[in-house]
Amino acid sequence: MGKVLAMRALVTNDDGANSEGIQVLARAAEDAGMGVLLAAPSWNSSGASASLTAVLEHGRFGYRHVEVDGIAGDCLAVDGAPSFIVRAALGGAFGDPPDVVLSGINLGLNAGQAILHSGTVGAVMTGATYHRPGIAFSLDRAEDVEWDAARQVVDEVLGWWTEHARPGLVLNVNIPDAEPDAVRGLCSAPLAEFGAVTATLTSRESGSVLMHYESPTGDPEPGTDVALVREGWATVTALQPLCAAPEQPALGPGHRSTLR
């Protein structure tokens, strides 16, 4: 693909079109020379994974223009989940289809194998199935955010990205909750076995279940994304788009009723 300078970037998230994180990311993308379309859910879609959920009326979904300071491109609040927005954008729903998908900056880590459930990551994985490269950004903080460290990491990653992006390349970036000078650096990291949050069943009654969400106890596996972020590193993990497993069941053509 070569340099992505001057290419069209879809900037989305799962926190909503008015979140501060997406605005920081969109400004960084424009500063890197990309043409930006900001299109994000009109509601908080955290945990949406790669859902294609949307609010439809007579088969049509709605969107509205929103004002975002410091962003030259179109900014839209869409009645759909992040992956739905990506799919719609790739189909030309908001003008020319994007060349790359940028998602975030999410409030809270998207790390470990729990990224399966992340709307932030689901957006870029959806883009990858259509051969669009993408990056998901998440910050290890949920409130009272100072964005300087996050912007510093985003700029560094986009600087590398403009030289190395290629079709289907997906990166998951997690940023520690630290002052810019306290971020130890940027490093590659495998996914931890668990994510930054686990769910447990706390009570079950007739017709209802109560779940409790909390940070997992114990130390994460050394060298994984969760462990390194806790140690002050920003991490980058390359993800693989959905594909068939390398080993398939040994069934010949025409076989039926072999699997029970």
What is the secondary structure of 115-166 as a DSSP string?
GGG-HHHHHHHHHHTTT--EEEEEES-SSS---HHHHHHHHHHHHHHHHH--
Tokens of 244: 């068939």
Residues 39-45 have a mean pLDDT of 77
pLDDT over 60 at 4, yes or no = no
pLDDT over 50 at 63, yes or no = yes
pTM: predicted TM-score of the whole model, two decimal places: 0.85
Residue among 189, 83, 162 nearest 129 (CA): 83
Residue 130 lies in a domain: yes
Residue 96 lies in a domain: yes
The predicted-structure confidence for 165-201, as pLDDT tens digits, reads as follows 888 899 999 999 999 999 999 999 999 987 555 556 6
Q: Which pLDDT score, from 0 to 100, does residue 206 have?
A: 77
CATH number of the domain where residue 102 is located: 3.40.1210.10
Residue among 115, 222, 114 nearest 172 (CA): 115
Report the number of distinct structural domains present in the chain. 1
Residue 252 lies in a domain: no
Residue 54's domain comprises 8-191+221-239
Q: Which pLDDT score, from 0 to 100, does residue 143 have?
A: 84
Residues 54-68 have a mean pLDDT of 75
Minimum mean pLDDT range among 106-115, 199-208, 231-240: 199-208
